[in-house]
């Protein structure tokens, strides 16, 4: 369920003429159908719009968050959102650029549908005349026979056009090729838009710009079948200033589920945003006003060492995803780890997740501190560790270690979590067994 207190703080910026202007200022419109028509449409009476999320994993990630916040901005402008979680398209998966997806079982996909529906509902209001409505495309595809699908939907598609879609073309030119299963995905997504147009009068779909072929699959199908003009907005793919893919490090996505990406790790990800990227991240991922973002942009130029923009970004987005209480806990942990707070007062779960992000080791209470310095990589050898202790540069939980032969015994109890430090900023975690 959504957090009413967080949703209540969100609003569109009144300094813009309309939500279309704000979406463009925030850099959320990379490609779209007729821009003038969209501006007029979004400035008029409430419309119904949708975005789809496929359950190909048990959690949404930062790329999905771009769509959720775009949907929320449209909802705040009075429009009616449909959050589609694809119980049928999730059984197939959108074609990846390089290889076929591994097909998950129907039971797994059904479980993930429920989890993703819960996540979608957290970011959109369920109250009022434009409350979010969750839909599942399995509802209108499960009973559809292959013959009916080919006759009623497939006949409106031309293979030549389908082959030109970027996702399909890249796969055709790869060694892996593409199966008919994944080739048909764009027809299924187009059929979703047609059904939502028929059932709810939906006239706008949003999605990532890499989905543009699938988005226009729906607009073209509705035009052919119903003779109506509907719209699509493709948001830009968020990349870092160096061109690397945003939100992934060594193949690990930044998930919205706390069990898959801890609030501490999530907060640190945003805190470590490069100066060149932070202003655009503030525009996309926060509801801060244009005036406030301009102020933070100036701080990046004048005093980048203070990292005020990064701290604001990290706090805003972590609160949005994990709540104010969890955010306060991770900020306290960050401060305590670097000597600006009380380690003993930290929530154990938050401290544990923080230590998991540091170099760490597991040890018994009789383990020598010198060996732990080596095991955690804070020093290269025991002799280097002994010198560091002699120089007064080693501490455990902010207590300086003076004895080269000191063990954990007497300092911590079995089951404790400890912070081992060399110097002021080189830290490691110790999980005491």
Q: With bands split at pLDDT 50, 70 and 90, how would you rate the model's confidence at 251?
A: low
Instruction: Provide, rounded to the nearest whole percent, the portion of the chain with pLDDT above 70.
Output: 98
Q: What is the pTM of this model?
A: 0.92
Q: Which of 289-298, 305-314, 328-337 has the lowest mean pLDDT?
A: 328-337
Q: With bands split at pLDDT 50, 70 and 90, how would you rate the model's confidence at 2?
A: low
Long-range pairs for 238-245: beta carbons < 8 A, 24 or more residues apart: 238/62, 238/63, 238/66, 238/284, 240/274, 240/277, 241/274, 241/276, 241/277, 242/274
pLDDT over threshold 80, residue 354: yes
Measure CA of the first residue to CA of the last residue in the chain; give whole Å: 38
Helix (H) or strand (E) holding 334: helix 324-337
Q: How far is CA 303 from CA 294, 295, 312, 351, in A?
A: 14, 12, 14, 30
pLDDT in tens, 115-133: 999 999 999 999 999 999 9
Phi (first) and psi of residue 16, to 5 degrees:
-95, 150
Query: Which residues fall in the annotated binding site for ATP?
Result: 248
Q: Identify the CA nearest to 90 among candidates 188, 222, 179.
A: 188
The residues, any chain, with a CB within 8 Å of residue 29's CB and separated by 6 or more, are 23, 35, 233, 234, 235
Q: With bands split at pLDDT 50, 70 and 90, how would you rate the model's confidence at 249?
A: low
| Three-state DSSP state, 99 | coil
CA 84 to centroid of chain Cα atoms: 17
pLDDT in tens, 132-169: 999 999 999 999 999 999 999 999 999 999 998 888 88
Average pLDDT for residues 39-66, to the nearest whole number? Answer: 97
The residues, any chain, with a CB within 8 Å of residue 354's CB and separated by 6 or more, are 262, 264, 330, 333, 334, 337, 429
Spatial distance between the Cα atoms of 230 and 201, rounded to a whole number of angstroms? 10
Q: How far is CA 81 from CA 20, 35, 46, 54, 231, in A?
A: 16, 20, 10, 17, 14
pLDDT over threshold 90, residue 93: no
pLDDT over threshold 60, residue 1: no
pLDDT in tens, 381-429: 999 999 999 999 999 998 999 999 999 998 999 999 999 999 988 999 9
Average pLDDT for residues 358-383, to the nearest whole number? Answer: 96
Domains and CATH numbers, the chain: 4-237 (3.40.50.620), 239-347 (1.10.240.10), 358-433 (3.10.290.10)
Query: Which residues fall in the annotated binding site for L-tyrosine?
Result: 50, 185, 189
Who has greater pLDDT, 234 or 92? 234
Who has greater pLDDT, 99 or 312? 312
CA 289 to centroid of chain Cα atoms: 21
Q: Could you tell me the sign of the dihedral formed by the alpha carbons of 354, 360, 361, 367, in that order?
A: negative
pLDDT at 241: 84
Q: With bands split at pLDDT 50, 70 and 90, how would you rate the model's confidence at 229?
A: very high
Phi (first) and psi of residue 255, to 5 degrees:
-85, 155
pLDDT at 165: 83
CB 222 within 8 A of CB 230: yes
pLDDT at 239: 87
Spatial distance between the Cα atoms of 234 and 246, rounded to a whole number of angstroms? 17
CB 393 within 8 A of CB 422: yes
pLDDT at 4: 84
pLDDT at 311: 98
CB 49 within 8 A of CB 204: yes
pLDDT at 126: 96
Average pLDDT for residues 177-198, to the nearest whole number? Answer: 94
| Three-state DSSP state, 98 | coil
Within 283-423, strands assigned E span: 360-363, 394-396, 399-400, 417-422
pLDDT at 75: 98
pLDDT at 166: 81
Instruction: Provide, rounded to the nearest whole percent, the portion of the chain with pLDDT above 90.
Output: 82
pLDDT at 66: 97
Query: Which residues fall in the annotated binding site?
Result: 50, 185, 189, 248
Spatial distance between the Cα atoms of 126 and 137, rounded to a whole number of angstroms? 20
pLDDT at 77: 98
pLDDT averaged over every residue in the chain: 94
């Amino acid at each position: 369920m959504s957090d009413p207190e967080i949703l209540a703080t969100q609003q569109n910026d009144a300094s813009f003429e309309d939500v279309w202007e704000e979406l463009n200022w925030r850099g959320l419109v990379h490609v779209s159908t007729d821009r003038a028509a969209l501006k007029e449409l979004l400035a008029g009476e409430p419309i119904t719009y949708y975005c789809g999320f496929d359950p190909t994993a048990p959690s949404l990630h930062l790329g999905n968050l771009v769509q959720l916040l775009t949907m929320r901005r449209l909802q705040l402008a009075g429009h009616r959102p449909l959050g589609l979680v694809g119980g049928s398209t999730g059984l197939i998966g959108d074609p990846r650029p390089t290889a076929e997806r591994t097909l998950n079982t129907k039971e797994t996909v059904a479980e993930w549908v429920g989890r993703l529906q819960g996540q979608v509902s957290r970011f959109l209001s369920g109250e009022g005349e434009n409350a979010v409505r969750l839909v599942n495309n399995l509802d209108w595809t499960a009973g559809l026979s292959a013959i009916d699908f080919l006759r009623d939907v497939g006949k409106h598609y031309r293979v030549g056009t389908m082959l030109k879609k970027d996702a399909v073309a890249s796969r055709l030119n790869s060694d892996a090729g593409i199966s008919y299963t994944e080739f048909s995905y764009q027809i299924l997504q187009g059929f979703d838009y047609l059904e939502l147009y028929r059932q709810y009068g939906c006239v706008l779909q949003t999605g990532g710009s890499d989905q543009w072929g699938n988005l226009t699959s729906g607009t073209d199908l509705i035009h052919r079948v119903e003779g109506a003009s509907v719209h699509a907005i493709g948001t830009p793919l968020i990349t870092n200033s160096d061109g690397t893919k945003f939100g992934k490090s060594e193949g690990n996505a930044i998930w919205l589920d706390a069990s898959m990406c801890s609030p501490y790790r999530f907060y640190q990800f945003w805190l470590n945003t490069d100066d060149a990227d932070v202003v655009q991240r503030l525009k996309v991922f926060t509801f801060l006003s244009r005036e406030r973002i301009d102020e933070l942009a100036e701080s990046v130029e004048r005093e980048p060492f203070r990292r005020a923009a990064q701290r604001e970004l990290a706090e805003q987005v972590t609160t949005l995803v994990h709540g104010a209480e969890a955010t306060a806990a991770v900020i306290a942990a960050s401060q305590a780890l670097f000597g600006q707070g009380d380690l003993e007062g930290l929530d154990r779960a938050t401290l544990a997740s923080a230590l998991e992000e540091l170099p760490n080791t597991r040890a018994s209470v009789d383990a020598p501190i010198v060996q732990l310095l080596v095991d955690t990589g804070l020093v290269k050898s025991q002799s280097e560790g002994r010198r560091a202790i002699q120089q007064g540069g080693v501490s455990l939980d902010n207590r300086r270690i003076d004895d080269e032969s000191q063990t954990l015994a007497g300092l911590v109890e079995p089951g404790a979590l400890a912070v081992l430090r060399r110097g002021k900023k080189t830290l490691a975690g110790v999980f005491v067994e």
